[in-house]
Amino acid sequence: MRYFRLTPLSPLIARDSRPFGAGQGNRVRSMDWISPSVIAGAVRTAVWKEKDTLTPEQLKTIEVHGAFPIADEQIYFPRPLDALIRKVEKETGIADILRIRPMARGEGLGVPMPHESLVPSAPVEMPEEDFKPERSDDFWSLEAMAKWLGCEEDQRVLMRIDGLPAPVKEDRTNVTILPESGAAEDTKLFTTTGLDFVRRPRDGESKGRLSQMRIGVRVNFGDYTLLAGRFLVPLGGERRLAETVESGDQDKFWKAPDALNVRSGKGLRMVLATPALFAKGWLPGWLREEHGNLTGTIPGSGVSVRLVSAVVGRWKPLSGWSYERGRNGPKALRRMVPAGSVYFFEVLEGGAELSTLWLRSVCDSAQDGRDGFGLALWGLWSGRESARCF
Amino acid sequence: MDNTKFEKRYWIHTVTPLHVGTGRGVGYIDLPIAREKVTNWPCIPGSAVKGVVADHFGATEEERKKNGLVRAAFGTANASDSNEANSTAGSLVFTDARIVCLPVRSFYGTFAWVTSPFCLERLKRDAGMDVPSMSVGSAVLTKTTKLVRDGSRLYLEDLDLDCKRDEKADACAELIAGAVFADSPEWQAIFRERLAIVNDDIFTFLCESGTEVSAHIRIDEASGTVADGALWYEEALPVEALLAGTVWCDRVYRNKNANDELTKEKLLENFCSKPLELQIGGKASTGKGQVRCLFQKL
């Protein structure tokens, strides 16, 4: 494994799948964060540029995992969707969080569930009065995440998230100037939106010390270790560049924190750190119906589980442009389960190997895993007293 | 193989005020300049630099079809259809040029080339430069500074700042002056005497308030007086501003049938080695946007 940090040298364009080009649209939009396949493609293309005899099949064996923001020597993960933030104290940064947990069987919200063995999830200790949840930061620090995942309780909690907002979007309007006339060419006006990776100071915070947000990536080159410790790669749309520097001591960012002991629990929470692709949409393909329940073995482990509930965000589009020989052109659109989605499991058997699952892919296809999709973080839950089914 | 040697830093030194605009503004300035989103510091988008460099080398579509070197450097679009799959990407990639030094009016020394730790941090890559840390309200100057006299106060625009002299500032000045004024020891000395490093907050304030804003009117030919509604304010980056970016040579994409020897070295040597005199941005016919573009090996 080698660990890299990417520093964008210009705002990066992480395009969504809307069309752009002559006659198709004059606006390039950007998603909030880069999808894993963009980084995987960039790293593999960089390897191919060094050794162009490698075939697409060989290049696809290179595992590229990420990408996570790194700022001020901390790694961040997408906000878990089982946290409902009621309020964040501006001065102290302490957030009042309600935990979203599976409801008791029969206590449902009166809506049909995708499978009869599943129960809906809802916030515990929901206050009587209405409130609008705070969006809060898009990313949580590893420390906050470990604290959140390691806690089995379902009660309301006051904690510091120490979060990081997503990169700010920057719009640019571009024209083509004709060398013959020095004036703008007719119909050649378009706008692009990019992500600015300078860390945004919070409201009212001094810009006295600006810092750079970087992108953390883990690469397993397998048989094709070619890249130097520092190189430049074009990343995302419009060939914006990112400086890629190898960092030897990043291993700690990619390991489950020692404080987090997920072996003991009977209830297991799976949080997607990168968007996932499953054959059955939101439902992992390794879960099958058995005796009226959705059960299966977590990939790469002997842990057998039953799905109890899931908190899944709205799907995100995934497309792209393939540079693969013979397949050059736009890729088919796929739907991703967004990062931050949480699955609640009941452990049926095993559980000792869980620490090895940290940031491993849970996607159905091994290739999607090598492309960096579906990297999971693991935590505990026990749920409401009445909801306990074990 | 290390691809770093196919990378150069490019410097933009403004010779006349530079107006890389963003269209009509919503503030009191009608025609503001392009700025980075988070820092609000002036910048030149890489696409603007690349387009102008391509133009400087006469890279018209016709020329790109004829000349393999120009086509490899700047790419070519297939005009017959809109399918990008049939186009060729240019190999030279320019990043945005980001501000390094902003000229700011100073009570002593006429003007100061002001920079900040974050500007230097970005520039630091490969240079092994030691960037001084700053506290709010202070500035770091070189040993030979002309920006203060008999005391320790630096007066920039209407700010007065505590300041100290530090060797780290001299090292920064050496690096920048060596790159931008390589052939002129006199200018290197002038630069060293005027470099001031201030905190990022103050630098942002100076970037927002220290640019050149000029009022323009249009005279109605018939009446000889101002045409109705024809008053506007234009912003420009002042003369002597310094910006820097990176130019990198990607894999050389060439026509399969072409047997010309095109290499990354050749492209960089041809297009990114000699100093260029360019016109960047809008308002060219009023003299705006004359810059020196210099390339520095890393």
Determine the Cα–Cα distance for residues A173 and B59; give it in Å rounded to an integer. 22
Closest Cβ opposite residue A209 in set B36, B58, B200 = B200
Determine the Cα–Cα distance for residues B90 and B109; give it in Å rounded to an integer. 44
Q: What are the DSSP E strand ranges found in A144-274?
A: 157-160, 168-177, 184-196, 214-220, 230-234, 241-246, 267-272
Closest C-alpha to B98, from B115, B80, B74 = B115
Q: Is A209 on the interface with B (CB under 8 A)?
A: yes
Q: Is B162 on the interface with A (CB under 8 A)?
A: no
Stated length of chain B? 298
| Cβ neighbours of A9 in B, within 8 Å | 95-96, 245-246
Per-residue DSSP letter, B237: B
Determine the Cα–Cα distance for residues B158 and A99; give it in Å rounded to an integer. 52
Q: Is A264 on the interface with B (CB under 8 A)?
A: no
Residue of B96, B119, B126, B298 best to disrupt the A interface, most CBs of A under 10 A: B96
Q: Is B63 on the interface with A (CB under 8 A)?
A: no
Residue A322 CB burial class (10 angstroms; 0-12, 13-18, ≥19): middle
Listed in sequence order, the residues at least 6 apart from B278 whose beta carbon sits closer than 8 Å to its beta carbon are B52, B53, B56, B290, B291, B292, B293
pLDDT at A301: 86
Stated length of chain A? 390
| Inter-chain residue contact A240 with B3, CB threshold 8 Å | no
Determine the Cα–Cα distance for residues A306 and A294; give it in Å rounded to an integer. 6
Q: Token pair for residue B184?
A: 């002129």
Q: Token pair for residue B250?
A: 């990607």
**pLDDT tops 50 at residue A139:** yes
Residue in A with minimal Cα distance to B45: A10
User: Can you tell me the mean pLDDT for B278-294?
Assistant: 95
User: Can you tell me the mean pLDDT for A250-276?
Assistant: 84
Each residue's pLDDT tens digit, A105-128:
776 667 788 998 999 998 998 888
Each residue's pLDDT tens digit, B219-256:
999 999 999 989 999 999 999 999 999 999 998 876 66
| Cβ neighbours of B204 in A, within 8 Å | 207
Closest C-alpha to A376, from A389, A366, A362, A365 = A362
User: Can you tell me the mean pLDDT for B139-148?
Assistant: 94
Closest C-alpha to A283, from A301, A307, A267, A266 = A307
pLDDT band at A218 (very low <50, low <70, confident <90, very high): very high
Cβ(A228)–Cβ(B2) below 8 Å: yes
pLDDT at A224: 86
pLDDT at A252: 82
% of chain A at pLDDT higher than 90: 54
pLDDT band at A389 (very low <50, low <70, confident <90, very high): very low
| Inter-chain residue contact A196 with B251, CB threshold 8 Å | no
Closest Cβ opposite residue B200 in set A49, A173, A208 = A208
**pLDDT tops 80 at residue A56:** yes
Determine the Cα–Cα distance for residues B202 and B158; give it in Å rounded to an integer. 12
CA distance B56 to chain A (A): 9
Q: Is B45 on the interface with A (CB under 8 A)?
A: yes
Determine the Cα–Cα distance for residues B66 and B255; give it in Å rounded to an integer. 11
Closest C-alpha to A247, from A2, A1, A8 = A2
User: Can you tell me the mean pLDDT for B10-22?
Assistant: 96
With DSSP H G I counted as helix, E B as strand and the rest as coil, what are the percentages for chain B, rounded to 5? 25, 35, 40
Amino acid at A354: L
User: Can you tell me the mean pLDDT for A131-142?
Assistant: 91
Cβ(B140)–Cβ(B163) below 8 Å: yes
Residue with the two structure tokens 């099958």: A288
| Inter-chain residue contact B204 with A207, CB threshold 8 Å | yes
Q: Side by side, which strands form the sheet with A74-78? A: A139-141, A74-78, A63-71, A214-220, A2-8, A241-246, A230-234
Amino acid at A3: Y
| Cβ neighbours of A168 in B, within 8 Å | 37-38
User: Can you tell me the mean pLDDT for B172-176?
Assistant: 93
| Inter-chain residue contact B96 with A11, CB threshold 8 Å | yes
Closest C-alpha to A231, from A382, A97, A65, A49 = A49
Closest Cβ opposite residue B60 in set A179, A200, A211 = A179
Across all residues in chain B, what is the average pLDDT? 90
Q: Is B251 on the interface with A (CB under 8 A)?
A: yes
Determine the Cα–Cα distance for residues B180 and B101; give it in Å rounded to an integer. 11
Residue A273 CB burial class (10 angstroms; 0-12, 13-18, ≥19): buried
Closest Cβ opposite residue A234 in set B38, B59, B93 = B93
Cβ(B112)–Cβ(B97) below 8 Å: no
pLDDT at A22: 72
| Inter-chain residue contact B95 with A328, CB threshold 8 Å | no
Determine the Cα–Cα distance for residues B36 and A198; give it in Å rounded to an integer. 9
Least reliable range by pLDDT among A37-41, A93-97, A239-243, A263-267: A263-267
pLDDT at A15: 87
Determine the Cα–Cα distance for residues A19 and B281; give it in Å rounded to an integer. 29
Cα-flanking dihedrals φ and ψ of residue B191, to 5°? -65, -45
User: Can you tell me the mean pLDDT for B119-144?
Assistant: 80
Per-residue DSSP letter, B246: E
pLDDT at B278: 97
pLDDT band at A187 (very low <50, low <70, confident <90, very high): confident
Q: Token pair for residue B169?
A: 């500032």
Give the distance, in angstroms, between the CA of residue A296 and the centroid of all CA atoms in the same chain: 23
- State the DSSP string of A326-369: T--EEPPPEEEBPTT-EEEEEEEE--TTGGGGTTEE--SSHHHH
% of chain B at pLDDT higher than 90: 72
Closest C-alpha to A15, from A163, A216, A142, A195 = A195
pLDDT band at A386 (very low <50, low <70, confident <90, very high): very low
A-B contacts at Cβ under 8 angstroms: 102
Tell me the Cα Rg of chain B: 22
pLDDT band at B38 (very low <50, low <70, confident <90, very high): very high
Cis check: omega of the bond before A310, within 30 degrees of 0: no
Helices and strands, number each (H, E), in chain A: 4, 25
| Cβ neighbours of B3 in A, within 8 Å | 46, 49-50, 228, 231-232
Across all residues in chain A, what is the average pLDDT? 88
Residue with the two structure tokens 């970087």: A214
User: Can you tell me the mean pLDDT for B276-285?
Assistant: 94
Which has more confidence, B83 or B129? Answer: B129
Residue with the two structure tokens 């579509």: B61
| Inter-chain residue contact B82 with A228, CB threshold 8 Å | no
Cβ(B132)–Cβ(B117) below 8 Å: yes
Closest Cβ opposite residue A206 in set B2, B82, B201 = B201
Amino acid at A365: S
pTM over 0.90: yes
Closest Cβ opposite residue A196 in set B2, B37, B58 = B37
% of chain A at pLDDT higher than 70: 94
Cβ(B21)–Cβ(B31) below 8 Å: yes
pLDDT at B3: 53
Cβ(B69)–Cβ(B88) below 8 Å: no
Each residue's pLDDT tens digit, B58-115:
998 889 888 889 999 998 876 554 455 567 788 999 999 999 999 999 999 999 999 9
Closest C-alpha to B282, from B32, B50, B59 = B32
Q: Are strands B138-141 and B159-165 parallel, antiparallel or unpaired?
A: parallel
Q: Is B62 on the interface with A (CB under 8 A)?
A: no
**pLDDT tops 90 at residue A251:** no
Closest Cβ opposite residue A49 in set B45, B82, B251 = B251
pLDDT at B86: 60
| Inter-chain residue contact A328 with B85, CB threshold 8 Å | yes
Residue of B7, B70, B92, B93 best to disrupt the A interface, most CBs of A under 10 A: B93
**pLDDT tops 60 at residue B2:** no
| Inter-chain residue contact B95 with A22, CB threshold 8 Å | no
User: Can you tell me the mean pLDDT for A299-322?
Assistant: 90
Determine the Cα–Cα distance for residues A273 and A338; give it in Å rounded to an integer. 9
**pLDDT tops 90 at residue B295:** yes
